[in-house]
Every structure is written in C-alpha cells, then in structure tokens.
Structure 1
Amino acid sequence: MTPPFDPARQQASTVCLPPGNWATVLDCLCDHFKAIDRAQWLDRFARGRVLDAQGQAIPAELAYRRGMRLHYFREVPNERPIPVQEAVLHEDEHLVVADKPHFLPVTPTGEYVEQTLLRRLIRRLDNPHLVPLHRIDRHTAGLVLFSANPQTRSAYQRLFPERRIDKRYQAIAAAMPQHEFPLVHKSRLVHGEPFFRMHEVEGADNSETFAQVLETQGDLWRYGLSPVTGKTHQLRVHMAALGAAICNDPFYPELLQVEDDYQKPLKLLAQSLRFDDPLTGEERYFETRLRLDW
C-alpha cells in the first residue's frame, strides 16, 4: 500500500517552466509532460502536490510565467511492490550505508517511486534529507552510501569525481582462459539504443576497469572488479566486451525482453567501499553482508 503523502518526507522533482504562450501553469505542465494527462495533473493540484519555489501549494489556474520554478511529486498508480528487503549497515550524523538487494532501484525512476531504496530509507529512518552519494543499477546488489546531513554533503560528494574512494565489486561469469589476469580494460562508452544501454565505440577512452580472478568453479569464475571510472553499466559492458557477460544479465550482450525473475538475479555485487573521511581524516571501510552464490 502506498503511504499517505507527507511532503516533508518525500523528495520532489523540480521543473523551470519553458518559454511558451500558455495561459496557466496547468496548461504548460500538460503540454510539457505529454505522458501525464490533464485529469492526473488536476488531481495533483487538488491534493497539494504541485508547489512553488517556496514550497507552497499552488492552484491549477495560477497564471503561467516563463522560468517559474515548480516542485512536483512523481506518482505511479498501482505501483507494484518489489518483494526484497534492504538492510541498514551503518548510520551516523553524516552518513547512512545500506545494503541494496537485487531489483530495487536506488531512486525514483520510470515505474518505481515508493518502491525504491531512497524512499524506503526516508520512511524507515525518518530523515527526509537523505540523498544517495552514488548509484548502482537496479539489477545490481550491494552497498549504497547516502548523505544524511545537507551541511556536510558536499564534502562526501567530492569523493567520487575526485576518485578518492575505492569501490570493489564481485561478479560471476563464464571462464575466460583466453585472457591473462589481472588485467585492465579501457574503452569509450556512449549511450546506445535503447537509451539505457551503453556500448563501446572508437575514440578516446572514458572508462577503465581493473579485473582479477578470485575463484573458479568449472565453467564459471568469480571475478573481482574495481571501476576506476563510474560510467553507466560500465562493469556489465566491459565484462561482455571481454567475452563473458555477467550471469543473468538481461541487457548485455543482447537485450532480453523479460520480466524480473527473482530466482535469477544479475550476478553482480557492490562488495566494499573504502575512503578517508573528509571530515575526520580517518579511514572508513564498509563491506556488504550479501553474497553471490554460484
């Protein structure tokens, strides 16, 4: 069941109204977001789910003004529950570390709003200030680091673009005796078709992964993967490019149009995070409690 609306505990999407000749804010939103019908927007206005820049609910008949900044709350009617459970591994004044199970998105996207790690943690910890400092794919399980305090958020956010955080993953995929490990794979990744799939193209490298073999079991090997860069689906694309797509990957090397099969999760796990705390200088290390079985 979708919980009752509480704007203090939900994160809004933001839009600046584009140039146009609309009479009202409602007219502009209906034309700008064509996938949402007028009746749905009217319902959102009636329930106070469209706010101005100051966070005050506005009426649907409010006159349009170019550049007006609005906040609105995404909703998915009859959102399907995802039958998996996250775990909180660490919580302090500044950081929350969670173990995300396979299939659970980190943030609202597409058909998922309430059934996301962020929304679940906001409700569970009663902290509307939670913001993910990085993201992992919906199909990937493992560690996700959240900022819990807006005053210190930027210090932790800088860890990622400045590459001051060590991220390690595990994956299970086909054996690759044709390669000598450990190895480094570099390539240029760009968005392909459909838009959410990445692929390698010619050009200057913009992605880099360190790979090693941790364990072997017949035709399957367990790999340790360390992404030097953080491109979308980087580990999944790089493993497929090397000749061994990660087990149960529905996107690579080919796109499979299949429903989620909770018995066959992607065999990719965000295993550990290590960094020097930007506030105290102490080393911080977190490791998932989840495991990849063969």
Structure 2
Amino acid sequence: MQLKSPVPNIRLDKHLTQVLPQFSRAYLQRLIEQGYVLVNSQKAKASQKLSDNDTITVELPPIPGHPLAESIPLAVIYEDEDVLVIDKPAGFTVHPAPGHPSHTLVNAVLAYCPSLTTSNDLMRPGIVHRLDKDTSGLIVVAKNDLAREYLTAQFKSRTVTKGYLVLVKGRLSPEQGIIEAPIARDPHNRQRMAIVEAGKEATTKYQVRRYLNTYTLVEVTPLTGRTHQIRIHMSAIGYPVVGDPIYGIRSAHLSRQFIHAYRLGFRLPSTGQYREFISPLPADLEQVLEHLARNA
C-alpha cells in the first residue's frame, strides 16, 4: 500500500500508527527495521521526520491464514464436549499475532483438540477471553461455535467469576475497595495502556489477603476486562504489582509479574450449571511468598 504524509515533520512510526491503527506501534517499528516500509522508495528509520510530499510504501508480510497445531503440553483441568479449562503457565502467549505466529496456547489447543471451532476468528479459534503472556492461571476455551456464543454472552453480561491473586508493593489500605478509572492506549506511548479520561470504563474490586512486611497479597476481581487492567489500577492507587516491568516494580526474586488467575466460574454450555474452578499458586509465586514470610 502507498500512503501520503498529511502532517509535515511527524515521525514515520507515529504516522503509521495513525493511518494503520489495527497494528501496534512496536509491530510497525519492526516492519520499518526489517525494510517493509520505504519512504520515497528508500529504506527508512522509525524516527525519520516526514515531509508533506513524501510517499510511503508499506508491504505487510504474509500472516498464516490459520495457526498450526503444535504438540505442546497443556494442563487441562476440566473438559467436556463444549469447553476446555486450562491452567496456563506464565510465559505462554494465548494466541498468534503478527510477529508471534507460533508456540501459543492456540497452537497447543489445536493439537490437543483438532476439531476445535475456527469460524469465530482464524487466528483465535475458541478464545473467548485472554490472559497476559506473563500471567499464569485459568482460561476457558470453547470447542464449538455454540459454546463460544454461550460463553461470550456470559463475559459480556459480566456474570463470569474471575479471581486473581496479586502481590503489590506497600501495605495496602484500606483492606478492601473498588477502583474505577477509565483505560485506553497511552497517547504518549502506544505500547502501553493508561488511565485516560476518554477511555473505556474499568472497574476493579480488591480484598487484602495477607500482609508480608512491606508487601500485600491481594485478591483482585476485575469487573471489566480491559487490557492490563489490574496492573494499571493497582499502580494508579500507589500499590504497583511486583515483577511488572511496565507499570509496577521489578523483583530480584521473580522474573515475571505476580498475577495468578486462581479462580474462574461460569455456566457450562451443555447444562447451564454454574461451575467454579480453582488453580493453586504456581511454585515460583509460592517461593516469593515464602521468602517474604521468612524475612518479615
């Protein structure tokens, strides 16, 4: 595709995020670096300033029409003819995306369940909600179209029960509360989300579980499902998530954010019966709590 620059002196990567909003700035920067973006038929840099008569040529690399099945171990804690409930480890992306076409939960599920529905989204078959790559815990996958519609309706009506165990820096006070702050993409850094007045409504409930010296283990219930919601909201009230490199604080004892989706409840598509599933804290997070308890 060929694009004209309507605004003189704008950075190339910023201009592309405005005219191609379906792609993240990080992805577009990779395209520029890899030579898929030309300015006046010449290779360019992301920081290059544009003139009003520049011609920008963008070649989008091919994205597979359907993710491939990959034999990757899955911790399936419940299965029936309609759904899978999976205990996802940290470091595992949920679905393929530009720049990350393989070794995702979807690739693993396609190998585990070859008949999985694909009509909703070729790149996200069966996916009705997501967890961040470095968040561990429970995720439900629909095995057919009727189950996907049934589960999606529950998420939209906010009748799905979701509970997360989160470690934050500081002694959280008050011990329970509700955080309400709208979230949107950060206007100054499109790789981040932020609290933005014109953003989508976002609501998070929390309850202190345990104090550990200058840290707090919190049970968090997001009532909406915005990207990075827990991480942004906890940081906004002054209690950043431990191990979160973007909105929180890094930890010498943890290589990822301390967020675990430990509880998930919903009505089964086959029977309409409500079922709730629990996932224990994984070993890396338990070790952090044990270390803090010993040094309290």
Under a length normalisation based on structure 2, what TM-score does the superposition of the two structures give? 0.66
| Aligned alpha-carbon RMSD (Å) | 3.1
CA contact (8 A) 2:147 2:269 kept: no
CA contact (8 A) 2:67 2:107 kept: no
How far residue 85 of structure 1 moved from its aligned partner, in angstroms, is: 5.5
- Distance in 2 separating the partners of 1:277 and 1:212: 27
1:89 paired with 2:114, answer: no
1:182 paired with 2:176, answer: yes
Change (3 A) 1:204 1:190: closer
1:250 paired with 2:234, answer: no
Q: Hey, what does 2:167 align to over in structure 1?
A: 172
- Distance in 1 separating the partners of 2:105 and 2:183: 27
Q: Any idea what the Cα deviations from partners look like across 1:224-243, whole Å, max 9, x if unmatched?
A: 00001111100000011111
Q: Hey, what does 2:275 align to over in structure 1?
A: 284
Change (3 A) 1:131 1:196: farther
- Distance in 2 separating the partners of 1:32 and 1:274: 48
Equivalent in 246, 265, 272 of residue 263 of structure 2:
272
- Distance in 2 separating the partners of 1:196 and 1:121: 28
Q: Hey, what does 2:90 align to over in structure 1?
A: 102
How far residue 33 of structure 1 moved from its aligned partner, in angstroms, is: 6.2
4+ long deviations beyond 6 Å:
none
Structure 1 residue matching 2:109: 3-state secondary structure: helix
For 1:269, give the aligned amino acid.
Answer: H
Q: Any idea what the Cα deviations from partners look like across 1:83-116, whole Å, max 9, x if unmatched?
A: x964111111000011111111100024322210
- Distance in 1 separating the partners of 2:254 and 2:78: 28
CA contact (8 A) 1:159 1:165 kept: yes
Change (3 A) 1:91 1:32: farther
CA contact (8 A) 2:116 2:144 kept: no
CA contact (8 A) 2:207 2:218 kept: yes
Structure 2 residue matching 1:153: 3-state secondary structure: helix
CA contact (8 A) 2:241 2:248 kept: no
CA contact (8 A) 1:186 1:205 kept: no
For 1:187, give the aligned amino acid.
Answer: A
Q: Any idea what the Cα deviations from partners look like across 1:39-65, whole Å, max 9, x if unmatched?
A: xx6xx9xxxx6xxxxxxxxxxxxxxxx
- Distance in 2 separating the partners of 1:111 and 1:262: 29
State, as a whole percentage, how many aligned pairs show the same letter: 26
CA contact (8 A) 1:169 1:272 kept: yes
Equivalent in 138, 142, 145 of residue 133 of structure 2:
138
| Structure 2, gaps ≥5 residues long | 1-55, 118-124, 290-296
Structure 2 residue matching 1:190: 3-state secondary structure: strand
Alignment of 1:19-168 (within 5 A): 34-36=59-61, 72-73=65-66, 86-129=74-117, 130-168=125-163
- Distance in 2 separating the partners of 1:74 and 1:85: 17
Q: Any idea what the Cα deviations from partners look like across 1:167-205, whole Å, max 9, x if unmatched?
A: 11010111234x212110000111014324111123587
- Distance in 1 separating the partners of 2:159 and 2:269: 10
- Distance in 2 separating the partners of 1:139 and 1:244: 19
How far residue 274 of structure 1 moved from its aligned partner, in angstroms, is: 1.4
Q: Hey, what does 1:222 align to over in structure 2?
A: 217
- Distance in 2 separating the partners of 1:229 and 1:171: 17
For 1:273, give the aligned amino acid.
Answer: L
How far residue 150 of structure 1 moved from its aligned partner, in angstroms, is: 1.9
- Distance in 1 separating the partners of 2:86 and 2:79: 9
For 1:90, give the aligned amino acid.
Answer: Y
For 1:183, give the aligned amino acid.
Answer: G
- Distance in 2 separating the partners of 1:182 and 1:96: 32
Change (3 A) 1:123 1:262: farther
Structure 2 residue matching 1:160: 3-state secondary structure: helix
For 1:218, give the aligned amino acid.
Answer: N
CA contact (8 A) 1:86 1:101 kept: no
